[in-house]
């Protein structure tokens, strides 16, 4: 088997060259043993700090094909020591960090240590695992909620997470696909080209067809960690609800989030999502949707077409904004099947100027009645018909039917009239979203 030289982590090479490599890159022998490189011996921080979770409960957690709270609850009731250890880890981790912040304030050094604390928080989230990284990824796309320095640090969690052992990854590929690596691929990078919270990606060439592909391998222990963390978050949400701090059903929010997360961990489902997405939107001008290889994919391994390009944060291409908006409206209004995790790490700008979608783990369905309500809401907003817009918010499920229509109309009028008065060029969508959130 020929090995690809490993490109830098979290970047895709402009012209990946497939060259014969020599040790210590990762020569595998016919007996399936391996010579481990120095890099692959390093243990990533999640495994180092939270490995006890999946060492003790991975087999049972791996059998969870979908989110099932009663089953997760029963599973960890039989393992109270793991639950207590996890609670202690989470409490001491965040307690230590908040303690440092309080010490900074007491010593009047908050400004000097602000960037340091942001970097420390990012590292702590990685140590705690995928559930907390996922929450941070969602927050990192909201510049209206967090300071710029924290935004910069948390944005690194989109595609710059320490990879796990390549030895473990290659063994998982062989176990899942039932063949030795060198029978599957004629070439493969000895180290991952990108690593994220749920898995990491290798560049390879299929032995059968010679096509260059991306091989996505799931991070060991993610199901066990996410199962336990959602259990903890759900109970915490219940305590907050009992305390009367929120009107929303936070437990239902956790359930919905966990359901999506478990779907995202099923790579075979992701492959099917990618095939459907390519069929519906792959023909849109300057939209690229990679081909999926379901014959090489399982719930933990996904093989898809290799895409070369640049991260969106590294380019300034307004045309891609037009392409993305047009494709998004097609998703929402034409077919209702939409990409539900559109953070920058899930896209690339190809070298010929196309917008490439890379990840299809988290998708959604916009029901026809919601599509109609959304289109009506857009028309009523453009026409400044805020009375009808209030009714649209009920149709869309954003407000309960019992809401006082007159009060809602006045509130929406205040929010949108203020935004319109500023003019299109001066609208801050972060401020508008914040004002609308407070109003709701």
Tell me the domains of the chain and their CATH numbers.
2-35+165-218 (no CATH), 267-365 (1.10.510.10), 372-439 (no CATH)
Evaluate whether 327 touches 342 at the Cβ level (below 8 Å): no
| 395-401 long-range contacts, CB within 8 A, separation 24+ | 395/369, 395/370, 396/370, 397/370, 398/440, 399/440
**Per-residue pLDDT, 438:** 67
**Per-residue pLDDT, 25:** 33
Q: Measured between alpha carbons, how far is 140 from 161 in angstroms, rounded to an integer?
A: 15
Strand spans (E) along 250-300: 287-288
**Per-residue pLDDT, 319:** 93
**Per-residue pLDDT, 432:** 63
Evaluate whether 249 touches 241 at the Cβ level (below 8 Å): yes
Cβ-based burial of 368 (10 A; exposed 0-12, middle 13-18, buried ≥19): exposed
Active site residue 341: yes
**Per-residue pLDDT, 11:** 35
**Per-residue pLDDT, 391:** 85
**Per-residue pLDDT, 428:** 61
**Per-residue pLDDT, 395:** 83
pLDDT in tens, 340-374: 888 777 899 999 999 999 999 999 998 888 888 88
**Per-residue pLDDT, 17:** 36
Q: Measured between alpha carbons, how far is 216 from 210 in angstroms, rounded to an integer?
A: 18
* Distances, alpha carbon 255 to alpha carbons 70, 73, 76, 134, 315, in Å: 11, 13, 17, 15, 37
Active-site residue, from 341, 365, 385, 435: 341
**Per-residue pLDDT, 430:** 61
**Per-residue pLDDT, 417:** 75
**Per-residue pLDDT, 90:** 94
pLDDT lower than 50: segments of the chain? 2-3, 5-41
Q: Measured between alpha carbons, how far is 51 from 127 in angstroms, rounded to an integer?
A: 10
pTM comes to 0.79
Alpha carbon 70 to its chain's center: 25
């Amino acid at each position: 088997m020929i090995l690809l030289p490993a490109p830098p982590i979290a970047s895709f090479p402009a012209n990946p060259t497939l060259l014969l490599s020599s040790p210590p890159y990762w020569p595998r022998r016919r007996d399936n043993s391996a010579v481990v490189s120095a890099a692959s011996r390093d243990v990533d921080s999640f495994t180092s700090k939270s490995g006890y979770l999946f060492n003790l409960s991975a087999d049972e957690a791996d059998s969870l094909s979908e989110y099932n709270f009663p089953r997760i609850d029963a599973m960890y009731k039989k393992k109270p020591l793991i639950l207590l250890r996890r609670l202690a880890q989470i409490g001491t981790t965040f307690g230590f960090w908040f303690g440092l912040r309080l010490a900074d304030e007491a010593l009047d050094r908050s400004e000097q240590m602000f960037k340091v604390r942001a970097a420390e928080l990012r590292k702590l989230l990685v140590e705690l695992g995928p559930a907390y990284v996922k929450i941070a990824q969602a927050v990192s796309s909201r510049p209206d909620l967090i300071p710029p320095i924290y935004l910069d640090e948390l944005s690194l969690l989109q595609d710059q997470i320490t990879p796990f052992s390549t030895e473990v990854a290659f063994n998982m590929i062989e176990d899942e696909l039932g063949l030795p690596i060198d029978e599957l691929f004629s070439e493969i990078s000895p180290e991952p080209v990108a690593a994220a919270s749920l898995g990491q990606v290798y560049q390879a060439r299929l032995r059968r067809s010679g096509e260059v592909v991306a091989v996505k391998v799931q991070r060991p222990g993610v199901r066990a960690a996410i199962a336990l963390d959602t259990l903890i978050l759900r109970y915490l949400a219940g305590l907050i609800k009992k305390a009367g701090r929120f009107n929303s059903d936070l437990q239902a929010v956790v359930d919905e989030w966990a359901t999506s997360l478990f779907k995202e961990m099923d790579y075979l489902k992701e492959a099917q999502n990618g095939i459907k997405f390519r069929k519906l939107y792959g023909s849109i001008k300057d939209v690229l949707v990679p081909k999926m290889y379901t014959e090489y994919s399982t719930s933990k391994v996904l093989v898809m077409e290799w895409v070369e390009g640049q991260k969106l944060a590294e380019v300034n291409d307004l045309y891609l904004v037009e392409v993305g908006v047009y494709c998004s409206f097609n998703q929402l209004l034409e077919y209702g099947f939409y990409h539900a995790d559109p953070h920058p790490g899930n896209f690339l700008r190809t070298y010929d100027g196309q917008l490439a979608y890379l990840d299809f783990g988290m998708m959604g369905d916009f029901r026809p009645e919601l599509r109609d309500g959304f289109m009506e809401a857009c028309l009523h907003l453009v026409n400044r018909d805020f009375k009808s817009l209030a009714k649209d918010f009920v149709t869309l499920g954003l407000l309960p039917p019992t809401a006082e229509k007159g009060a809602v109309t006045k509130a929406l009028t205040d929010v949108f009239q203020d935004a319109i008065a500023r003019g299109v060029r001066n609208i801050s969508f972060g401020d508008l979203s914040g004002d609308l959130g407070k109003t709701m």
